[in-house]
Amino acid sequence: MPTTRPGLATRLIHTAEGAQPHAAPLTTPIYETTTFLFDSTADLQAYIDGSTGKYLYSRYDNPSTHALEAKLAEAEQAEAAMVFGSGMGAIASTMLGLLSAGDEVLCSAAIYGGTFHLLQSFLPRFGITARLLELDALRDPTAAIGPRTKLVWFESPINPTLRCLDIARLAGACRAASVRSVMDNTFATPYNQQPLTLGVDLVMHSVTKYLNGHSDVTAGAVMGARTLVDALLPARKLIGAMLDPAAASLVGRGLKTLEVRMERHNANALALARAFDGDRRLTRVLYPGLPSHPDHGIAAAQMRGFGGMVTIELPGGLEAAGRFFDRLQVFKRATSLGGVESLAGLPVLTSQYGWTDEQLARADVTPGMVRLSVGIETLDDLIADVDQALK
Give the DSSP letter string of 160-187. Answer: TT-----HHHHHHHHHHTT-EEEEE-TT
Sign of CA dihedral 6, 8, 14, 16: positive
The one catalytic residue in 112, 191, 210, 287 is: 112
- From residue 47, give the alpha-carbon distance in Å to each of 1, 80, 129, 227: 39, 20, 38, 20
Contacts of 82 (CB under 8 A, 6+ apart): 69, 90, 221, 222, 223, 229, 232, 233, 236
Choosing from 103, 184, 295, 385, which is the catalytic residue?
A: 184
Q: Which of 47, 54, 59, 274 is catalytic?
A: 59
Q: Which of 71, 150, 163, 209 is catalytic?
A: 209
Beta bridge partners of 116: none
Contact present, 139 and 128 (Cβ < 8 Å)? no
> Is 184 one of the annotated active-site residues of the chain?
yes
Q: What's the CA gap between 172 and 164, in Å, rounded? A: 16
Pairing of strands 309-313, 284-286: antiparallel
Active site residue 112: yes
DSSP 8-class letter at 110: S
Query: Which of the 8 DSSP states describes residue 53?
Result: -
Whole-Å CA distances, 76 to 128, 132, 388: 29, 27, 39
Q: Which residue spans within 233-305 are E strands per DSSP?
A: 284-286
Give one DSSP letter per residue of 330-387, joined into a string. SSEE-S---SSS-EEE-GGGTTTTT--HHHHHHHT--TTEEEEE--SS-HHHHHHHHH
Q: Write phi, then psi, for 131 (nearest 5 degrees).
A: -120, 120
For residue 107, give the nearest of 181, 168, 175 by alpha carbon.
Answer: 181
User: Do the beta carbons of residue 218 and residue 254 sit within 8 Å?
Assistant: no
**What residues are labeled active site?**
59, 112, 184, 209
